[in-house]
Structure 1
Amino acid sequence: MSSFLSSVASSTTKQAAAAVGVTALTFLALRQHRKMSALRTAVSANSSFSPSYLPVAIFVGGTGGIGQGTAEAFARHTKGNAHIIIVGRNRVAAETIISKFPTPTAEGAKHEFVYCDLTLMKNIENTTKSLLERLPRVNFLVLSTASVTKIGREETEEGIDKKLATFYYGRFKFINDMLPALRNAVARDEVASVYCIAAAGRGKTIDWDDLGLKKTYRFVSVRQQVPRYLDIITQEFSIQNPAISFIHAWPGTVRTNLGHSIESTPLRLTFKLMMLLAYPVSMSYAQSGEYMLHGMLSASKQAGWSRIDEDGKNMTKNEYIASEEERKKLWEHTVEETSRWKSISS
């Protein structure tokens, strides 16, 4: 009898496992079909981008990952006929990327790399000053910077954690510094758009007593709070500059090299394992680039604040509208943090 019951139990377990497997495969097949359909839509929409002027686009963090994918898609759909600037630290990677861009045929079109260590605010100011001196206008400012070398807090000489510097403070400073060039594009009746590729809709409650996470720093706190920082600060930028588009995007799960530079071997391997397990539901950086470009071009058709999801569509869930008090407090804190280096170096 016990043998019979064991046989029945074993058969039932196998049937349940088979059912779970079939369900999982069906889910993945349906998801893949939906994603491919969405990708075709994005590519088709991107191919119709044909401005009457030569667009100027800056890709901050465009030497790898999603930033690279978006820059490549932009170059491809403009047929190289744009002034494209990639900002970052890896000159070799940038020049390799640029070498594969379509050869431009329009007058004034060119592709270049600008070196900048984006962990330091003083470096960003030197870079933006140089750009403003030679760029009469900027149409698209795309920011996708991120850096993870340690899980714990790792302060720069300016007193800012490196992860926060690349993911938040550096983005703020680059945007704030480049506003004159974006406003010049508006004055010429051209598109002026700021595109933050980060984690729209993924933010949690902010600890307003510890902005910058100097007292309660944890890696999970960075992941939970900083996306909301970006939601709030892009809203404030939009209110101060109503003629410019400010967009916060969530690219979804993308296969990139983020995490490969983590110094701790166990943590680096853990990160790689997580990415491997997520492979069936993740996308390549090139696919993400098409989606992100689609989102940017679509949202840039009108001024104001918006959020974009992983398919490049307007995000309708998890919306967080900050109060005037929240916007003011975060703005003042951020201006202070991104200016502190001046008193340190004087």
Structure 2
Amino acid sequence: MHFSLLFLALLLPVVSFLALNISHRMPSLSTVRAFNARFTPSYGTPVAIFVGGTSGIGRGMAEAFARHTKGNAHIVLVGRNRAAGEAIIATFPKPTATGVKHEFVECDVSLMKNVGRTSAELLARFPKINFLALSTGVLTLNGRDETEEGIDRKLAVHYYGRWRFIRDLMPALKAAQKAGEDAKVISVLGAKHGGKIDLDDLGLKKHFSVLNAALAGPTYNDCMVKGFADRHPGLSFIHSYPGTVATDILRNSNTPALRWANSLTPLLKLFAYSFEDAGEHQLYALLNAVPGAKLTDDKGADYVLKQDYFDTDTVEKVWKHTEEVALV
């Protein structure tokens, strides 16, 4: 079973690559870089928090944001690896504006109590937050792995922890909105790439499988951005699909077969985005966002959705379930 899933995991990037090159979708990398480089907020020094910003796409987004703002932005990287976070921050352009902070905050986002504590610390330092990017990820073929809070670790990292961060940091996002500043959130996972979910088994306590979890996480995130947008008009909430990206997620997996597959990374790089290029595209999706909920693709462009894409009943049931699970 595991080897079948491994084969699928390795095959999907190839299919994605072929689809990308057949469709020739816009915008191009040069277009998004030029757009991002023109970002000059009128309200002074923006505050951007990157949860999962110490590796992969989150790192690419944070580095691009630092580069395009010439370091003149309050940037916070949230993750588990302090050494990696501080090493990345050391490469950021040195700010010329006074009082600018580039910092790392340690947090294991698989535990809701950690997210709550970290959010409280961030709110104490940043009364206004302009950009919140969430890209934490874990890749495993293992079965249900419950945290001490009774949540599957994969779903905690891909969904519940993200929801809790957004919910807890909402006062600072709304303060930015009230001041006429950017107030935008992006969750990078698998927009429009989820599956039908069982509303009688939200959280997958009854029928957990690696495949069910992989399909549920993106759908939960789709519902999440719609739920937040409905409750907080005027703010921007994006769930994005980054495409196939060459990151360290295979090397860091707790599944031996996937760690072995990391040896194929040089081949993967032939048809995958680098984390730097993916970061540019996802930053474009964030900076280009308008108020409301939207789903974006690997280029940062909006998906065209049918009018009834977001089923109200499903969105609300997922929201109620999440409140019960994540607010511990």
Please report the TM-score for the alignment, with normalisation by the length of structure 2: 0.89
Confirm or deny: 8 A CA contact 1:231 1:320 kept in the other structure.
no
Matched residue SS, 2:260: helix
Question: Which of 112, 118, 127 is matched with 1:121 structurally?
Answer: 112
1:334 aligns with 2:322: yes
1:310 aligns with 2:298: yes
Aligned residue for 1:222? 213
Structure 1 residues 58-207: aligned runs within 5 Å: 58-149=49-140, 151-207=142-198
Aligned residue for 1:16? none
How many Å apart are 1:35 and its aligned residue?
8.0
Matched residue SS, 2:136: coil
Bigger RCO (CA 8 Å, 6+ sep): 2
Question: Which of 292, 295, 298 is matched with 2:288 structurally?
Answer: 298
Whole-angstrom distance in 1 between the partners of 2:221 and 2:292: 15
* Greater gyration radius: 1
1:120-158 alpha-carbon deviations (Å, 9 max, x no partner): 000111111111112110000000011235521111000
1:208-234 alpha-carbon deviations (Å, 9 max, x no partner): 111001111111111112101110111
Confirm or deny: 8 A CA contact 2:251 2:258 kept in the other structure.
no
Confirm or deny: 8 A CA contact 1:149 1:261 kept in the other structure.
no
RMSD after superposition:
2.3
Runs of 4+ in 1 over 3 A off after TM superposition: 30-37, 270-273, 275-279, 317-320
Confirm or deny: 8 A CA contact 2:115 2:164 kept in the other structure.
yes
Aligned residue for 2:41? 51
Confirm or deny: 8 A CA contact 1:201 1:317 kept in the other structure.
no
- Amino acid of the structure 2 residue aligned with 1:99: A
1:95-116 alpha-carbon deviations (Å, 9 max, x no partner): 0100000000012322000111
Whole-angstrom distance in 2 between the partners of 1:337 and 1:132: 22
Matched residue SS, 1:87: strand
Structure 1 residues 241-260: aligned runs within 5 Å: 241-260=232-251
Structure 1 range deviating more: 31-40 or 221-230: 31-40
The change in CA–CA distance for 1:328 and 1:99 in structure 2 (over 3 A counts) is same
How many Å apart are 1:37 and its aligned residue?
7.5
Aligned residue for 2:7? none
Confirm or deny: 8 A CA contact 1:232 1:321 kept in the other structure.
no
Whole-angstrom distance in 1 between the partners of 2:45 and 2:126: 13
The change in CA–CA distance for 1:266 and 1:116 in structure 2 (over 3 A counts) is same
Q: Matched residue pairs, number?
A: 311
1:289 aligns with 2:270: no
1:27-73 alpha-carbon deviations (Å, 9 max, x no partner): 98x93995897111111111100002210000000000000000000
Whole-angstrom distance in 1 between the partners of 2:125 and 2:276: 30
1:253-284 alpha-carbon deviations (Å, 9 max, x no partner): 000011322233224324654x5554332110
Matched residue SS, 2:310: coil
Aligned residue for 2:270? 280
Matched residue SS, 1:258: coil
Aligned residue for 2:4? none
The change in CA–CA distance for 1:32 and 1:89 in structure 2 (over 3 A counts) is farther
Please report the TM-score for the alignment, with normalisation by the length of structure 1: 0.85
The change in CA–CA distance for 1:207 and 1:77 in structure 2 (over 3 A counts) is same
Matched residue SS, 2:157: helix
- Amino acid of the structure 2 residue aligned with 1:287: D
- Which structure features the higher share of helix residues? 1
Percent identity, aligned pairs only, is 46
Structure 1 range deviating more: 313-322 or 137-146: 313-322
